[in-house]
Structure formats: C-alpha cells, structure tokens
Amino acid sequence: MEERQTENRRMFRRVIRRMVFANRGRLLVILLALGAGAAVTAALLNLEVDAKRRITSEFRSFGANVLIVPGPEAAAADSRAKETFDAAVYDQIPKHNGRDPVEKAALLYGVARASVESPPGNSSVKSGEPIVIVGYRYYGSDLSDFFGSAKVLEATALIPKDESEASKLSETLKRQTATGGPGSLGMAGCLAGEKLAVRLKIGAGQWLHLKANSLEAFCRIASVRSTGGPEDSQLFLGLDVAGRLLEKEGRLSTVAVRVPGDASRVNGFVHDLQASFTALRITPVRQFTENEAKLYGKISGVLTATVFLVLILTALCVMAAMTNIAAERKNDVGLMKAIGGSVGRVLRIFLAEAALLGLAAGLIGAATGMALSIGLGKAVFGVASEPRLVVYPVSVVLTVVVAILAAYPLRRLVNIRPASVFRGEE
C-alpha cells in the first residue's frame, strides 16, 4: 500500500516535470506573463508603502507648523515678559517626535535703525531707517527651507574681504568705546530679506550699522534672500547679538517648530508641549497642519487607488492570458482520461503545475520588482526607497494564487470526452 503511494507520488512528479518542460516556448510565455505581474506587484507595493512616508516628509518644505508665543498671563507676571519669554524653552523642546526629527527655530523680534556703512568706519551720525531685526537660532537640516523656502539671491563668505577692512572697522569700534560713544556690540553676520536689501541699497558683503536704544552693532550681509513672506523685509542675525542689541538677552518672542507626522501626531505633540509650558501659548499653524492632512489624504488616496486598480487588473489580465494558454491543453487532458486518470487527479496535476509555475515566476518576478522599486524610489525622491521585506512574500503568494485561479477554468476540460478530442473535434 505504502509502496504504491510512493510510486504514485513519483509518477505525479514526473508527469509535472514533463509537462512543465515539454514546450519551451509555452514555458517562456507563462513565466513572462506571471513574472511581469509579480514584478509589477512587488514594485508598486514597495513604492506605495515607501512613498506615503516620503510624501509626509516632503511637507517639511512648508516650514514651521507649530508656533510657541507668550501666553496671556505672562504679561501680568513680569513687565519684561511682555511679548517675550525665557529662552530656556527652546532647549526644552524635544528633538524628536517618534522617530522623526523635529526642526525648531528660536526667534526674537525687535525694531532697530539701520544705515549702510560704506566704506566701513566712516559712520557719521545717521538716523537710519527703522527695520525689523530678527535674532534667530535654528536647529534642523535646511535653514532656507525652514524660513519660507527662501531663494538665496546672492551670498558671500562671512569673513571680510580684506584685512584692512576688518581692522579699520574694529579700530572705529575701539575708538567709539573709548570716547564713551554708544555701547558697541561688535560685528556679526546677517541675512537680509530682498525688500530690505533693495530699500537700503545693499548687497551681500556690505556692512550695515544697527542701532537700538543706546546700543549699536555692525553686521555684514552674508546673503540676500527672497521668500515672498514677511522675511523679505527683515534682517536675520544671531540670537545673541540681537538679544544684546534689543536689551532682551535670554528672551524670545517666538519659537517656530516643524513637527513631522500627520495631524494627530502634531496635535499630540502640541498637547504635550502645552502641558509642560502652561504660561505659553502653543498654536498649530492651521494653514499647514489642517491642509497637510487633507492633501495627504488626497495624495495617498489617488496613489493607493491607482496602485490597487493596477494590481487587480494586472492579476485579471495575467489570469486571462494564462487561461488562454491552459485551454490548449485539451489533448493532454483527453489522453490522461483515456488511460484512466480520474477527474480529481487530472485536475490536481494541472493545479500543481500552475502553482509550481506561479512560485517560480513569483520568486524571480518579485525580486526583480523589488530591485526596480529601489531604483524608482531614487528617481522620484532622490533617496533609494527601503525595501520592505514583507512585500516579497506577499507578492509571491499573490502570484501563486493568480496562477492557480488562472488554471481553474481547466475544470471545464474535465468534462470533455477523450474520444472526440482524439478525433480532432472541437
């Protein structure tokens, strides 16, 4: 009994082997159809999983989405606290939200009078024009992106062009300090907005004289930037210098934060921050937080829908092609039945063949697809997409299922009469 079973199994395997390799052309066609399906499935699934995360991180180019400003009761507690708060807050903001890094900028706003220093050291008494100066400190990956997707119009290295220029300037500063002139805070580099640069007629590399209250500072324009936002008429300089100039050392007007993630994660972050800084007001920038969620929904909707539509139709299409191929097996079925094969057995042989082909095509195709999606991810996002290992078995299993389903119409062939097949009748 057992011997017969072993014998049966051996025969079964032999029949299948013969069937698979009997017709090379057919084999190639089947592997091509199934393999293409598997490759597309794997590539699209991998891209889909990866793209969603990448799209969320693309939203970072919108800049800050959470602002921290003084709360209403801060003003009453401390007159100096009016419109500013302690700079220590900046350092206490967590650097990560989950896995993703948080970007942040500490900002101190004030008004100073600016006049152009040219050539340096020739500062006669000028009243200057009032401008908004912004002291900033930034933690993150791209300063220009964070402040309104700024386009740098011109830039220069921060070190003064020639030695004499710098020494002349420091001479002036020393002299002024010695003669009891207004307190000087030395030199700094700064970033000018486009409108400000046009208005004051200055460019990168030139010196600006800033005066606020009784203090003054010199700054050299490191770059001129354009954002189309309020930054265009502001002058950005180091937080320390600005703090001293405005006599608000250790104080901040605003902390701008870019919190990564979807709306619920941003709101969670805001909630946690609000709990730890009760005196401050933490407000999500609704223009971005709300719309990001909405846009993300649309984008991932269109992506998911297209990918799944393509996957389903690809499966159907592969199935139709396979069925077409299977239908020509009439002779084989007729022969098997003529030599005494039972319906169940014949069907089993064909399904086993289909599964085997599906597995082979799936293994090769899905691997190709994964490799493809890594390259595609690089083409779209500039970063190779990480292969998700779960995608591979899923694609292989899907391919096997499609192959088996495609062989299923053979059931119809089981009803055929061997005699009519051999006579060549349809």
Partner 1 sequence: MFLRLVADNFARRPRRKLLTAAALSLGMAVATAALSVSLDVGDRLAKEFRSLGANLVVTPEADSLPLEIGGVDYRPATLGAFLPEADLPKIKTVFWRNNIMALAPVLEVEAQVSRASQKASPLSPHRAVVIGTWADHGLPLKDGSEFVTGIAKTNPWWKTEGRWFSDDAIECVVGTRWAEENGVKAGDTVSVSADGRSWMALRVSGVLTSGGAEDDAVIVPLRIAQRLAARPGQYRKLYVSALSKPEDDFARRDPKTMNPDELERWSCSPYVSSIAYSIRQVLPGSEVRVIRRVAEGEGRILTRVEMLLWLVTLAALLASGLAVGASSAASVIERRTEIGLMKALGAGSATVGFLLAIEQLLLALLGGGAGYALGLLLARFLGSRIFGEPPAPSLLVLGVVLVLAAGVTLAGSAMPLKRAANYDPAPILRGE
Q: Please state whether beta strands 234-238 and 129-139 pair in parallel, antiparallel, or not at all (unpaired).
A: parallel
Shortest distance, position 376 Cβ to partner 1, whole Å: 5
Cα–Cα nearest to 49, from 400, 307, 232 = 307
Q: Judged by CB, which is closer to partner 1: 119, or 228?
A: 228
Q: Judged by CB, which is closer to partner 1: 163, or 425?
A: 425
Q: Judged by CB, which is closer to partner 1: 173, or 208?
A: 208
Please provide residue 356's backbone torsions phi and psi, each rounded to the nearest 5 degrees. Answer: -60, -45
Give the pair of three-digit tokens for residue 260: 């990564």
Burial 106-119 (b: 16+ CB within 10 A, else e): bbbbbebbbbbbee
DSSP conformational letter for 382: S
Shortest distance, position 110 Cβ to partner 1, whole Å: 8
Query: Residue from 49, 116, 215, 316 that binds partner 1 (CB under 8 A)?
Result: 316
What is the C-alpha to C-alpha distance for residues 39 and 366, in angstroms, rounded to an integer?
Answer: 5
Shortest distance, position 381 Cβ to partner 1, whole Å: 7
- The footprint of partner 1 on residues 373-412 (CB under 8 A) is 376, 379-381
- The footprint of partner 1 on residues 254-313 (CB under 8 A) is 254, 283-291, 294-295, 298-299, 301-303, 305-307, 309-310, 313
Shortest distance, position 186 Cβ to partner 1, whole Å: 25
Q: Judged by CB, which is closer to partner 1: 118, or 323?
A: 323
Query: x/- site string to partner 1, residues 108 to 147, per CB under 8 A?
Result: -x-x-----------------xxxx---------------
Amino acid at residue number 320? A
**68 three-state secondary structure:** strand
Does residue number 77 form part of the binding site for partner 1 (CB under 8 A)? no
Give the pair of three-digit tokens for residue 253: 């007007």
Query: x/- site string to partner 1, residues 54 to 73, per CB under 8 A?
Result: xx--xx-xxx-----x--x-
Beta bridge partners of 161: none
Cα–Cα nearest to 19, from 251, 361, 325, 419 = 325
Q: Which stretch binds partner 1 (CB under 8 A): 90-98, 156-164, 230-238, 335-343?
A: 230-238
- The footprint of partner 1 on residues 163-222 (CB under 8 A) is 195-196, 199
- The footprint of partner 1 on residues 1-30 (CB under 8 A) is 23, 25-26, 29-30
Q: Judged by CB, which is closer to partner 1: 38, or 349?
A: 38
- How many Å is the maximal CA-CA distance in the chain? 121
Query: Residue from 94, 182, 230, 250 that binds partner 1 (CB under 8 A)?
Result: 230
What is the C-alpha to C-alpha distance for residues 227 and 63, in angstroms, rounded to an integer?
Answer: 12
Provide CB contacts within 8 A for 299, sequence distance 6+.
55
Beta bridge partners of 106: 137, 255
**341 three-state secondary structure:** coil
